[in-house]
Amino acid sequence: MAASAAARTIIENCAIATVDANDTEYASGYVVIAGNRIESIGAGKAPEGLENVVRRIDGTGHLVTPGLVNTHHHFYQWITRGMATDHNLFNWLVALYPTWARIDEPMVKAAAQGSLAMMARGGVTTAMDHHYVFPKGSGDLSGAVIGAASGMGVRFTLARGSMDRSEKDGGLPPDFAVETLEGALAATEETVRKHHDASFDAMTQVAVAPCSPFSVSTELMKQGAELARRLGVRLHTHGSETVEEEQFCKELFGMGPTEYFESTGWLGSDVWMAHCVHMNDSDIAAFARTGTGVAHCPSSNARLAAGIARVPDMLKAGVPVGLGVDGTASNESGELHTELRNALLINRLGAHREAALNARQALRLGTYGGAQVLGRADQIGSLEAGKLADLVMWKVDGLGHSTIADPVTAIVFGAAAPVTLSLVNGKPVVEDNHLVTVDEDAIARAARSESQRLARIVAQG
C-alpha cells in the first residue's frame, strides 16, 4: 500500500527525543505515522491538510521516544523467579538446572506471555528470547514463544539456543538437560527456515544461539557459526560473564573467553553477546575491530554479583551496545525501562565515575544501541521518516516527574515513567498504562498456575 493511501495517526504537542545520529530533540513537536512507518517528524505542529487521518493524539505533558529494544532475555525463567537468591552464576545455574529441565510447552507459553507483557507494558516494542533448554518430549517450545510475541503484537527475535556439553563432558548442565550436537543443529536450522523473516518490517526473526562456553561443545560453537552464516541470520551467546567463566575457559581451552570466541568464529558484525563483564583492553579492541555487539544486563550482573561491564570503554572504542533484562530468574523485575537508570547508576560506580554515562547515552543504549546489536538499526531504534513506527509516549507531567524540567532526565533518572501509548508497527500495544492486545490478569493467572505445576513436578522428582 502506498504511504499516501495508508491510514494516518498524528501525535503532536509532545517533547520528542529522536535518538537519531545527531540526537535531535524537539521541545514541542509532532510525529505523523502512515501505516507501519513514520512519515514525518519535526518541531511545532503537524503539517496541515493530511488525508486519511484516523487518529490525532494530543501529547501535551509527554516525551515521545523510539520504542525500547531488549537484547537479552530467557522467557521461560518467568515461572522460576525468586529462587537461589543469594548465589553467584555457577551456583545459581546448578541450583536451577534440575527445575528448568522439567519445562514443557504450556509452561513456556505462559512464561513467554508473562515476560513479554511485563516488558511491553514498560515501553518495550522489540523483544528477544534466548531459549536454550529443550527437554526431550517437551513440545514445540520455539513455536510457543513466537506465538506469544505475535499474539501480543511485539516485534521479536528468537535466539534459538542449545546446550550439548553436560557434566559428563566437563560442562555445567546435568546430562538430561542437553541436546546432541546433531539434534541441536538440525532443530536450529528448522526453526530458522520455518520462522525467520528477513524483510524490512519483519515481526519475527531467528538467530543461532548456543548457550555459553561452559554448556556447549567447541564443535557446536563452530558449526553453529557456520550454520548461521549459511542461512544469513545473526549469532548470539553469553560471554565473559564472570570470573569463574574466565577460569573455566583458561583451564579447558588454554585461553580467555574472547580468544576462544575468535577461534570458533564467534567475533563479527553479525554476532552479539550477553554480559561481557570481564573484558580487558585487548578484548574490547577485538570487539570493536570486528563489530561484535554487546547486550549489557546491569541488574542481572548485580543480582549474580558478576561485576560491572566496561560500557563507557566499549562505547568509546566503537562497540555496539544494547541493554538486556536477562532472564527473570536473575532479574525478577523483568522490566527494561528501569535498566536505563540501572545502567547509568551502576556504570558510575566503576572507573569513570560521574562521567561514565549520561541520560542521553542511557536512552541510546535502550533504543538505537539495541537495534544495532539485533542488526535492525536501519529499521528501528530511532524516530526518522521512513523507519518503522515503533514508539513510546511517556507521561512526564505526573507525580513522579513533573518537577524535573528535562524530559529525558525525567525518564532516565526518575521513577519508571507511565506509558500512555506504545505503537509497534504503527499499531497500539499499550494505552493508558495497560496492554490492549492481551488480558494482563489472565496472563498473570496462567503464569502462576504453570509455575505451581512446575514446582509440583520437581517436588515429585
* H or E stretch at 282: helix 281-290
Q: Give me the least distance between CB of 98 and Zn ion, in Å please.
A: 18
- Closer CB to Zn ion, residue 237 or residue 451? 237
Number of residues that bind Zn ion (CB under 5 A): 2
Task: Please state the closest distance from residue 74 (CB atom) to Zn ion, in A.
Answer: 6
Give the residue with the Cβ less far from Zn ion, 326 or 339: 326
| Residue 127 vs residues 334, 353, 367, 371: alpha-carbon distances, Å | 12, 30, 11, 11
- d(CA 16, CA 30) in angstroms, rounded, equals 8
Binding mask 227-266 for Zn ion (x = CB under 5 A): ----------------------------------------
Q: Candidates 31-39, 47-55, 268-276, 348-356: pick the segment binding Zn ion (CB under 5 A).
A: 268-276
Nearer to Zn ion, 32 or 329 (CB): 329
* Cβ 222 to Zn ion shortest distance, Å: 21
For 455, list phi and psi in degrees, rounded to 5.
-60, -40
Decide: 320 and 290 in contact? Cβ < 8 Å: no
Closer to Zn ion by CB, 223 or 237: give it: 237
Stretch that binds Zn ion, among 33-41, 75-83, 190-198, 272-280 (CB under 5 A): 272-280
Which lies closer to Zn ion via its Cβ, residue 57 or residue 118? 118
Site string for Zn ion, 350-389 (x = CB under 5 A): ----------------------------------------
Round to whole Å and give the CA distance between 283 and 285: 5
Nearer to Zn ion, 209 or 423 (CB): 209
DSSP 437-461: SS-HHHHHHHHHHHHHHHHHHHHH-
278 Cα distance to chain centroid: 20
Exposure letters 414-425 (e unless 16+ CB within 10 A, then b): bebbbbbbbbbb
Tracing cell 506469544 back to the chain, one arrives at 148
Closer to Zn ion by Cβ: residue 313 or 326 = 326
Q: How far is the CB of 327 from Zn ion (least distance, A)?
A: 5
Residue type, 342: N
Least distance to Zn ion from the beta carbon of 445, Å? 27
**Of 32-40, 273-281, 387-395, 445-453: span binding Zn ion (CB under 5 A):** 273-281
Helices (H) and strands (E) in the chain, counts: 15, 17
Smallest gap from residue 386 Cβ to Zn ion (A): 33
Pick between residue 306 and residue 435 the one whose CB is nearest to Zn ion: 306
DSSP secondary structure code for residue 175 in this structure: G
Closest distance of CB 298 from Zn ion, Å: 13
Query: Applying CB under 5 A, which part among 146-154, 270-278, 395-403, 418-426 lies near Zn ion?
Result: 270-278
- Grid coordinates representing 236? 548470539
Q: How far is the CB of 300 from Zn ion (least distance, A)?
A: 7
Site for Zn ion in 15-54 (CB under 5 A): none
In the complex, the smallest distance separating the C-beta of residue 210 from Zn ion, rounded to whole angstroms, is: 13
Task: Build a one-symbol-per-residue string for 315-354: x at contacts with Zn ion by CB under 5 A, - elsewhere.
Answer: -----------x----------------------------
Residue nearest Zn ion (C-beta atom): 326
Which one, 220 or 325, has the nearer CB to Zn ion? Answer: 325
The three grid cell numbers given for residue 184, joined into one nine-digit string: 541441536
The overall longest dimension of the chain from CA atoms, in Å, is 70
Pairing verdict, β 8-17 and 25-34? antiparallel
CB of 211 to Zn ion, least distance (A): 8
With b for 16 or more beta-carbon neighbours within 10 A and e for fewer, the 134-159 pattern comes to bbeebbebbbbbbebbeebbbbbbbb
| Nearer of residues 36 and 300 to Zn ion, judged by Cβ | 300
Closer Cβ to Zn ion, 77 or 188, answer by number: 77
Radius of gyration of the chain (CA): 21
Q: What are 111's three cell numbers?
A: 512464561
Alpha helices by DSSP H, 304-375: 311-317, 337-348, 359-364, 370-373
For 127-160, the DSSP string reads EEEEE----TT---HHHHHHHHHHHHT-EEEEEE
Q: In angstroms, what is the minimal distance from the CB of 332 to Zn ion?
A: 14
Q: In this structure, is the dihedral angle defined by the CA atoms of residues 248, 252, 254 and 258, taken in order, positive or negative?
A: negative
Interacting residues with Zn ion (CB under 5 A): 274, 326
